Amino acid sequence: MRLKDATDVGRSLSRCGYVVLRDCLAGEAVRDLQTVSGEMSAAAGTILAEAQRCGGTAATHASSRVSELIVVPESAAASRVCRYEFMYGANPRFREFVDATLIPLVSRVTGEPMVLFKDKTNEKAPGGGAFGPHQDFAAYRFFPPRSHVTALISIDAAQIANGCVQFAEDYQRAAQQWPQHIESDHGGKPLFATIAGGPAHGDIVPEVAGTLSWVPVESQCSDLVLFDSFVPHRSGANASSAARRAIFVTLSRAAEGRHYEAYYAEKRRNYHDPKFHVATPTWRLP
């Protein structure tokens, strides 16, 4: 990975809540990741189809097959993969990429050792659903780390038409405008009130979301987008005819301990818990 000035990148990340590193992954790494991602996507599709063929659900599969990917179907199409997780645990080549490349890079950016907190791929098949406006901390706060950096890698080029992620870096201004809609403050970072339950569970309340300035971030597979767990983000549905797969690897500070195994043990136990479905177009009912 190519990273010119880690300190500058770290400053941008702190200031805006996200930063885009263009052309950061070398050609060979891109090709390797695309191959590994293709294998994992095929495995996720097989897991979902098998769970349904055997009369079970993706939830029962996740709770009984603890070394395999955790697959979550789309809310609008239960036979279609929305997301899969536990890639580091299930795929040795992905694990090598995270250990050898991603964790060292993000640790340089933050200036301190980082560890893996969670990972996922959002498939966003053609017509696949939009992610409502949310802050990741609304979901992560139920686990010990208080600070996170997520690395987004676009396996398929992400464009406005296929539902690339949009960020709102002006959320501190919105926090001043809407103090009544701040649920809690975390070292100067606001967590906005959210919708509880229903298909929009976890979305930032519309009064706030409607006044944020949303910036779409288009990216290629060679780019890396880093963002923290407070910057609001959302994405549109995939209006194109091809999938828009994106990998999200979330790291937390090593000083706050290792929580990857505990996170996924809890998710396997409580697959339908709403905290695992914040602002996500995932199938909710067993």
Ligand X SMILES: O=C(O)CCC(=O)C(=O)O
Name the residues that contact ligand X, by CB under 6 A. Answer: 122, 124, 131, 136, 163, 165, 233, 235, 246, 248
- To the nearest 10 degrees (0 to 180), the angle between helices 6-16 and 103-110 is 70
Q: Which is nearer to ligand X, 6 or 200 (CB)?
A: 200
Whole-angstrom Cα distance, residue 116 to residue 171?
Answer: 26
Q: Which is nearer to ligand X, 101 or 235 (CB)?
A: 235
Whole-angstrom Cα distance, residue 229 to residue 73?
Answer: 24
Strands 114-122 and 81-85 turn out to be antiparallel
Q: Which is nearer to ligand X, 3 or 130 (CB)?
A: 130
CB of 1 to ligand X, least distance (A): 22
DSSP summary character for residue 180:
G
CB of 245 to ligand X, least distance (A): 9
Residue among 191, 157, 189, 153 nearest 278 (CA) = 191
- The DSSP element (H or E) to which 114 belongs, if any, is strand 114-122
CB of 121 to ligand X, least distance (A): 9
CB of 54 to ligand X, least distance (A): 28
Helix, strand, coil % over all residues of the chain, rounded to 5: 35, 25, 40
CB of 123 to ligand X, least distance (A): 9
CB of 67 to ligand X, least distance (A): 23
Q: Which is nearer to ligand X, 89 or 163 (CB)?
A: 163
Enumerate the β-bridge partners of residue 251: 116, 149
Q: Which is nearer to ligand X, 3 or 195 (CB)?
A: 195
- The DSSP element (H or E) to which 82 belongs, if any, is strand 81-85
CB of 7 to ligand X, least distance (A): 27
Q: Which two three-digit tokens encode residue 174?
A: 């919105």
Whole-angstrom Cα distance, residue 283 to residue 223?
Answer: 30
- The DSSP element (H or E) to which 107 belongs, if any, is helix 103-110
Whole-angstrom Cα distance, residue 281 to residue 72?
Answer: 10
CB of 208 to ligand X, least distance (A): 16
- The DSSP element (H or E) to which 90 belongs, if any, is helix 87-90
Q: Which is nearer to ligand X, 110 or 235 (CB)?
A: 235
Residue among 283, 279, 14, 281 nearest 136 (CA) = 279
Residue of minimal Cβ distance to ligand X: 235
Q: Which is nearer to ligand X, 50 or 213 (CB)?
A: 213
Q: Which is nearer to ligand X, 27 or 131 (CB)?
A: 131
Q: Can you tell me whether residue 230 is helix, strand or coil?
A: coil
